[in-house]
Every structure is written in structure tokens, then in C-alpha cells.
């Protein structure tokens, strides 16, 4: 079985158990694991960084709300709300 198929199987399993699963493509950290699995109501935080006055795209808003509804802290950061 190829890694991609194994990864797909893992993601489906975790999501069926209530996890919010993120498959990482590229990060600023070499060697970071391929998949992040976040259990409901954990204390992880997500930030969408924008230049002052810029707004998140509709997809970014959707993802932020998805994370908030999963019990995570997720917000837009533009430097003015520091």
C-alpha cells in the first residue's frame, strides 16, 4: 500500500472519531509530521495573518469558523489587535 493510500485511510479514521484533521503540504519546519489531528475542544490556536485593512477570503473565513466550531481559538491577526 502506498503512503498516500495509508494517509487517506488514517485521515478518514481520525475524522470519523471527531478529530479535525489537517494534511500539511509545506511548512516552515523541516521534518514536521504529515498530518495534524486535533481533538475537539483542545487548546490549539490558529491565526490567519493579514496586512492591516486586508480581509480574509471567504474560504479563509469558512476555515476559521470551522475551527472555532470545533472548539479551537481561531482569529485574524493584522498586527493592530496585538
Q: How sure is the predictor about 80, in pLDDT bands with cuts at 50, 70 and 90?
A: confident
User: What is the reported pLDDT for 62?
Assistant: 96
Question: Are residues 27 and 56 located together in one domain of the fold?
Answer: no
Question: Are residues 45 and 35 located together in one domain of the fold?
Answer: no
Range of the domain at 9: 1-39
Question: Are residues 56 and 80 located together in one domain of the fold?
Answer: yes
Question: Are residues 20 and 55 located together in one domain of the fold?
Answer: no
Phi/psi for 77 (5° steps) reads: -125, 120
Question: Are residues 35 and 54 located together in one domain of the fold?
Answer: no
Q: How many domains does the chain have?
A: 2
Question: Are residues 50 and 67 located together in one domain of the fold?
Answer: yes
Rounded mean pLDDT of 74-79?
A: 92
pLDDT at position 74 over 70:
yes
Contact 25, 9 (CB under 8 A): no
DSSP-based three-state secondary structure for 58: helix
pLDDT, tens only, 5-56:
999 999 999 999 999 999 999 889 888 899 999 999 999 999 999 999 899 9
Q: How sure is the predictor about 1, in pLDDT bands with cuts at 50, 70 and 90?
A: confident
Amino acid at each position: 500500500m502506498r503512503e498516500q493510500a495509508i494517509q487517506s485511510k488514517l485521515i478518514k479514521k481520525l475524522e470519523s472519531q471527531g478529530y479535525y484533521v489537517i494534511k500539511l503540504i509545506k511548512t516552515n519546519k523541516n521534518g514536521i509530521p504529515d498530518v495534524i489531528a486535533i481533538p475537539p475542544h483542545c487548546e490549539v490556536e490558529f491565526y490567519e495573518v493579514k496586512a492591516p485593512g486586508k480581509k480574509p477570503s471567504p474560504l479563509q473565513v469558512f476555515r476559521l469558523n470551522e475551527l472555532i466550531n470545533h472548539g479551537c481559538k481561531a482569529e485574524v491577526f493584522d498586527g493592530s489587535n496585538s
